[in-house]
Structure 1
Amino acid sequence: MRIRREWPGAMELEVAVPEGDNPPGAEPGALYRALAYPALVGRPEPGDEVLLNTTALAMGLGTGGYAMVVAVPNRLPQDPQGPGHLVKARYTPLQATVLGADEQDSPFHDRLREADSVDGMPVVVADLHSALPPILCGLYDTAARDLRVAYVMLDGGALPAWFSMAAARLREIGWLSGVVTVGQAFGGDVEAVTTHTGLLAARHVLEADVAIVTQGPGNLGTGTRWGFSGVSAGEAVNAASVLQGRPVAALRVSEGDLRERHLGVSHHSLTAYGRVALTRAQVPVPMLAGAFGERVRDQAELLAVRHELVPVPVDGLHEALRASPVRLSTMGRGLEEDLAYFLASAAAGRFAASLLA
């Protein structure tokens, strides 16, 4: 029906669905938000017929609550012309062929072929994509604004980096020097096969001073100890350590989540860092006030057997977060609804900045 807005790689549309094809519980004649990635499906224009996947609408998803455009049948994209031989989202109908920084046809292949170290680069690892902006707020509140920061996006959530409006905006204003998409994720400024080559590309292709590693938007969890996509945070700690980086394990902390397993230090952090991460990391522990702050510090002590706990003051970080250039939101909660979450992430950024001195 109309194009609502667009940003690099993605378009948000308003679509009408034929009567009888509406998702369960929808009002007849309702209009829906839909998301299209023109490079994969073609560029839709008002009046076009589009093929939709409405799974997210039927499930009532929050972050990913879009109908997804599968194809614009009368306006298909061009076939891939190359260069590039990496196929991501492999063996799905929307698989994408990209040029990997580490493949033979890449101008960076020779640089990465023997690369084996990120030269002590701080690597801030976090569970959720929503930690990316507050980590940057804490980093830039302390460090110089001419830093080169790379975002290494894992494939535990959204696969297209284009889905993240926050990453696009942070890239636009220079808070990110680039996005590296690894594994099955794609659409970054740089493509890589694994988290390891993604970190190497961040250092040797984007020439990053700091890397931030999280999954894309759309965390998957099951309420079980091991069944959540953020397990990859522990694996990222291992990769950073093996490559001679300085892993900084950002805690997922919440005072606003009603689920006991996420209250205080989330069980995601305790499992990913306490069980999956086999190498030593530095864990910034935000010095939050009151009984809740004591709870966070007590829970963080469970990680002290393997990691170095570093107390980080949070004074001034609330103001830095209020000045964020992008909207802060986690699990539908904004800055004031779950301040502890954002302070903990910003504290990790503040600590990473201290490693650059």
Structure 2
Amino acid sequence: HIVRLRYTPMQHTVLAVEEPASPHHEVMQSASSLDGMPVVCCGLHSQIAPVAAALHHYSGGRCRVVYVMTDSASLALGVSRLVPALSEAGLIHGVVTVGQAYGGDLEAVNVFSGLLAARHVMGADVAIVSQGVGNTGTATAFGFSGIDQGIALNAVASLDGIPIACLRISFADPRPRHYRVSHHTITVLSRVVLTRCHVPVPELNPPRLWEVLGQLEEHGIAAKHLVRVLDGSAGIEVLRRKQLHVTTMGRTILEDREFFLAAAAAGAHAAELASMPTAVQNR
């Protein structure tokens, strides 16, 4: 077994999906590729709900979705009220906790093996990667826990998956650094990510859409990545229909609609990629 919360009073052992004692050890020994699986990497825990809802809608409920929770925020999966609600609603079908995080259906040593476990052990068609509850920020370019979005995007590319970056967009956040495209997202996509990513942009009313696209152009993101504008708004309707009440920084969908539309666009794009033959996914 491996130890979580190592060298703290709360340390405890878990069965790692990779270890020899695991019934999945042989699978994990041979697993080395995601085989073109789309992976949506988020910066905030709340984004996983609209991503999963849009995936459900735009795949006709046919996508098996696995959430990979990293260890840059809360470590215990049990802190999240969102994940059980999404599971009960049939929007996610399993959880892998990685690093020092714990409590998932599977426990993995790191995000690389966690992604491989999602694909080859849990049978994911699409994975969603995000930190747990409790983002840390310091009003500096690199001092925020959601920077692991970039680490995850790099891991996806290294494992032959399709990295999809979920934009953090808000026209309701009073902080200038998080207004329109958050400076966290800009740092990740301009400085942290080392590979070409898919960057879905939600359809917004023209003045706001132009502002978002202008930011991506200004910071070199449009030139570096595959930017696509698309509508994922049906994912928001799925959340309403399933009575999933999601907030971001205390704001509801009605109060910060663009935030949720951005995440839903990422889910819609992933659903489309998952339905394509591997040969045409990156065209």
For 1:201, give the aligned amino acid: A
TM-score normalised by structure 1 residue count? 0.74
Q: Give the Cα–Cα distance (whole angstroms) in 2 for the partners of residues 95 and 155 of structure 1.
A: 15
For the residue of structure 1 that corresponds to 2:67, the secondary structure is strand
Q: Give the Cα–Cα distance (whole angstroms) in 2 for the partners of residues 193 and 144 of structure 1.
A: 33
Q: Give the Cα–Cα distance (whole angstroms) in 2 for the partners of residues 325 and 245 of structure 1.
A: 32
Q: CA offset at residue 298 of structure 1?
A: 1.1
Q: Give the Cα–Cα distance (whole angstroms) in 1 for the partners of residues 71 and 103 of structure 2.
A: 12
Q: Give the Cα–Cα distance (whole angstroms) in 2 for the partners of residues 201 and 239 of structure 1.
A: 13
Q: Give the Cα–Cα distance (whole angstroms) in 2 for the partners of residues 351 and 190 of structure 1.
A: 26
CA contact (8 A) 2:14 2:107 kept: yes
Q: Which deviations, in whole Å up to 9, do the C-alpha atoms of 1:126-175 show, x marking residues without a partner?
A: 10000010111211121121321000001111100111111012223322
Partner residue in 1 for 2:104: 188
Q: Give the Cα–Cα distance (whole angstroms) in 1 for the partners of residues 17 and 174 of structure 2.
A: 42
Q: Which has the higher strand share?
A: 1
Q: Which has the higher helix share?
A: 2
Q: CA offset at residue 325 of structure 1?
A: 4.1
Superposed CA RMSD in Å reads 1.3
Partner residue in 1 for 2:119: 203
Q: CA offset at residue 337 of structure 1?
A: 0.8
For the residue of structure 1 that corresponds to 2:224, the secondary structure is coil
Q: Which has the higher contact order (CA 8 A, sep 6+)?
A: 2
Distance change >3 Å, CA 313–CA 147, structure 1 → 2: closer
CA contact (8 A) 2:50 2:235 kept: no
CA contact (8 A) 2:232 2:266 kept: no
CA contact (8 A) 1:137 1:324 kept: no
Q: CA offset at residue 89 of structure 1?
A: 1.2
1:338 maps to which of 247, 256, 281: 256
For the residue of structure 2 that corresponds to 1:130, the secondary structure is helix
> Which structure has the greater CA radius of gyration?
1
Q: Does 1:265 align with 2:153?
A: no
Using the aligned pairs only, state the percent identity: 48
Q: Give the Cα–Cα distance (whole angstroms) in 2 for the partners of residues 175 and 317 of structure 1.
A: 11
What number of residue pairs does the alignment pair up?
273
Partner residue in 1 for 2:278: none
2:192 maps to which of 263, 276, 298: 276
Q: CA offset at residue 278 of structure 1?
A: 0.2
For the residue of structure 1 that corresponds to 2:130, the secondary structure is strand
Gaps in structure 2 of 5+ consecutive residues: 276-283
For the residue of structure 2 that corresponds to 1:271, the secondary structure is helix
1:117 maps to which of 29, 33, 53: 33
CA contact (8 A) 2:54 2:232 kept: no
Gaps in structure 1 of 5+ consecutive residues: 1-84
TM-score normalised by structure 2 residue count? 0.93
Q: Which deviations, in whole Å up to 9, do the C-alpha atoms of 1:265-296 show, x marking residues without a partner?
A: 10111111211110111000112113222111
Q: CA offset at residue 212 of structure 1?
A: 0.2
Q: Give the Cα–Cα distance (whole angstroms) in 1 for the partners of residues 99 and 233 of structure 2.
A: 37
Q: CA offset at residue 324 of structure 1?
A: 4.5
